[in-house]
């Protein structure tokens, strides 16, 4: 039996899988309002070639459109990976009151790892943060993706070397 | 005679004036590539009711579209006010190599005031930053805007009180 947080994180993971299927780094997000998913998105940076198309940022834009306001009060944002500075900033700008994330991003995470941007009283908004929901699954999908990418690059290199020898 | 940086900041200020004319907090940005302005935008948060529509973020999206890549290499971003965490993050995500800003934002600025997000060697990108270009003009347009806003609210309050007395 899944908790409510696990259920919604599972939905975010489904979004991450859609990204993986496109060859995108598999990160997914959903936004919940009144126990309903009002926005869902996955990383599309390579597909769109637009630096802003991270899962969280796109979900926030969708939710603003749905609610008709830049203030996403009473919402919860679920994301499989700890947000980067841009997405943490977008969360502050849209006043999302609660953020739940899966795996930590030790290289660029700005919620707990490098900075704690969502809990800085100097900003005009702070979030309640829950980390580690389905963390293993959220981390594993990334590990699998990068392992397959390295393997593909290795195979491509071997193929090129063989072609040059011919 | 304006320097090149002052000339482009003047263009960003013209964008800020367009925001003011719409009743938006007057902040403007332009992105320059090969001595040409390839993107220009002004804050549209109230008009769009979309939390991501800050001047810098929209200019970055436009420039990605123009260049056809999420990597905005060899560009310079000019913005009238020190970027917030979201826009500083968008600058990192789009690998803008140089950022020039006008006035400091002591309440939310993440380039010099509260954080130095654009110069943190732990991230995979760092920027060259120039601050203070046309700082007085960039600050003044904001001061004028907020003074007029306070005055309008005061007049509205007076008007309501007079209506209630009738």
Q: Which residues of B are annotated as a binding site for Zn(2+)?
A: 54, 84, 87
Does position A165 have pLDDT exceeding 90, yes or no?
A: no
- Confidence at residue B27, expressed as pLDDT on a 0 to 100 scale: 98
DSSP states along A70-112:
S--TTEEEEEEE---HHHHHHHHHTT--EEEEEE--TTT-TTT
For residue range A92-126, list pLDDT tens digits in order: 999 999 999 999 999 999 999 999 999 999 999 99
B45, B52, B117 ranked by CB distance to A85: nearest: B117
B106–chain A Cβ distance below 8 A for any pair:
no
Residue A26 token pair: 């598999």
Q: Looking at chain B, which residue has its C-alpha nearest residue A96? A: B51
Evaluate whether ipTM surpasses 0.90.
yes
Residue A114: DSSP 8-state: S
Told to judge if A56 belongs to the known catalytic residues of this protein, a careful annotator would answer yes
pTM equals 0.95
For residue range A10-25, list pLDDT tens digits in order: 999 999 999 999 999 9
| Per-residue confidence in pLDDT tens, chain B, 166 aa | 899 999 999 999 999 999 999 999 999 999 999 999 999 999 999 999 999 999 999 999 999 999 999 999 999 999 999 999 999 999 999 999 999 999 999 999 999 999 999 999 999 999 999 999 999 999 999 999 999 999 999 999 999 999 988 7
- Confidence at residue B166, expressed as pLDDT on a 0 to 100 scale: 79
Contact B89 A110 (CB under 8 A): yes
Residue A36 token pair: 């309903």
pLDDT band at A30 (very low <50, low <70, confident <90, very high): very high
- Closest chain B C-alpha to A3 CA, distance in angstroms: 30
Residues 6+ apart with CB under 8 A from B100: B5, B8, B9, B76, B77, B78, B79, B129, B130, B131, B133
Backbone angles phi, psi at B96, to 5 degrees: -60, 125
- Confidence at residue A117, expressed as pLDDT on a 0 to 100 scale: 98
A3–chain B Cβ distance below 8 A for any pair:
no
Q: A32-66 burial, b for 16+ CB within 10 Å, e for fewer?
A: bbeeeebbbbbbbbeebebbbbbbbbbbbbbbbee
- Confidence at residue A89, expressed as pLDDT on a 0 to 100 scale: 98
Interface test with A, best of B24, B41, B51 (most A CBs within 10 A): B51
Residues in A closer than 8 angstroms to B120, CB to CB, are: 114
The mean pLDDT value for A59-85 works out to 98
Q: How far apart are CA A81 and CA A11, in angstroms?
A: 13
Count Cα neighbours of A63 within 13 Å in the Cβ-side half-sphere: 34
Contact A50 B70 (CB under 8 A): yes
Residue A65 token pair: 């459109």
Helix intervals (H) in B84-134:
85-93
Does position A166 have pLDDT exceeding 90, yes or no?
A: no
Q: With contact defined as beta carbons under 8 Å apart, do A87 and B74 qualify?
A: no
List A residues 86-105 in contact with B (Cβ-Cβ < 8 A).
Answer: 86-90, 92-95
Q: With contact defined as beta carbons under 8 Å apart, do A78 and A8 qualify?
A: yes
List B residues 36-75 in contact with A (Cβ-Cβ < 8 A).
Answer: 45-46, 48-54, 57, 60-61, 64-65, 68-72
């Amino acid at each position: 039996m899944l908790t409510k947080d696990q259920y919604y994180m599972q939905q975010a993971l489904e979004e991450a899988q859609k990204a993986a299927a496109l060859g995108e780094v598999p990160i997914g997000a959903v936004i919940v309002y009144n126990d309903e998913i009002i926005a869902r998105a996955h990383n599309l940076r390579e597909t769109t070639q637009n630096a802003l198309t991270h899962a969280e940022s796109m979900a926030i834009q969708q939710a603003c459109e749905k609610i008709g306001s830049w203030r996403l009060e009473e919402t919860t944002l679920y994301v499989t990976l700890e947000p980067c500075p841009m997405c943490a900033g977008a969360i502050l700008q849209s006043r999302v009151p609660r953020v739940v994330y899966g795996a930590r991003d030790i290289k660029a995470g700005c919620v707990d790892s490098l900075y704690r941007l969502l809990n800085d009283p100097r900003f005009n908004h702070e979030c309640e943060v829950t980390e580690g929901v389905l963390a293993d699954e959220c981390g594993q999908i990334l590990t699998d993706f990068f392992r397959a990418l390295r393997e593909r690059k290795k195979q491509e290199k071997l193929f090129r070397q063989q072609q040059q020898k011919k």
